Structures are given as C-alpha cells and as structure tokens.
Amino acid sequence: MKRPSSASRRQPRRGPKVKRTPKSIIQETLVQLDQLAAPSAKAQGAISFFKKWLRDESGYDEQAWPKLKKALDRERTRVKARTLFDG
C-alpha cells in the first residue's frame, strides 16, 4: 500500500503568524470567559474568580509562584516522589 506524501500530512497554513503578548492573551481569555454560559452558581463563581485573577496587576502571583513551586518540589522530594516542575 502506498503511503501518502508528506505534503498531504502537513497542517494547513493559517495565515501570517501574529505575535501574541501576555496582555493580548489575557484580553482574549477575558472575552472567552464573558461568552461562557455557566451551568451553575458554582461555575459562575469560578468564572468570576478567574476574571478577577486575570485582571489583577499587583504582581503577587509572579512573586509567590516561584516560592510555591520550590516548596511543592521540596515536599515531593522529601516523600520520594518525582518533582512536578523542571529546573
């Protein structure tokens, strides 16, 4: 049986690649969250939480995340489990 050519297996081109900045990704995500229809009050609460978190510009998450990663990996090493993060 003949294999398809490599050209037929390639992904179609999607046009020029647009550079996405973190701010544009956040804006796109907020638009998508606004379009969601929450099936329950609990889901609506989660959506509201994520929207608030995405709009937060205090810098707390950038400051706290490296410390949290280090603590999680340190604890997993202590119990002889594989680490969650590279580096």
- Mean pLDDT of all residues belonging to the chain: 85
- For the full predicted model, state whether its pTM sits above 0.75: no
Question: 76, 64 in Cβ contact below 8 A?
Answer: no
d(CA 71, CA 38): 34
pLDDT in tens, 10-29: 666 676 777 778 889 999 99
Angle formed at CA 68 by CA 67 and CA 72, multiple of 5 degrees = 120
Residue 52 CB neighbour total at 10 angstroms: 9
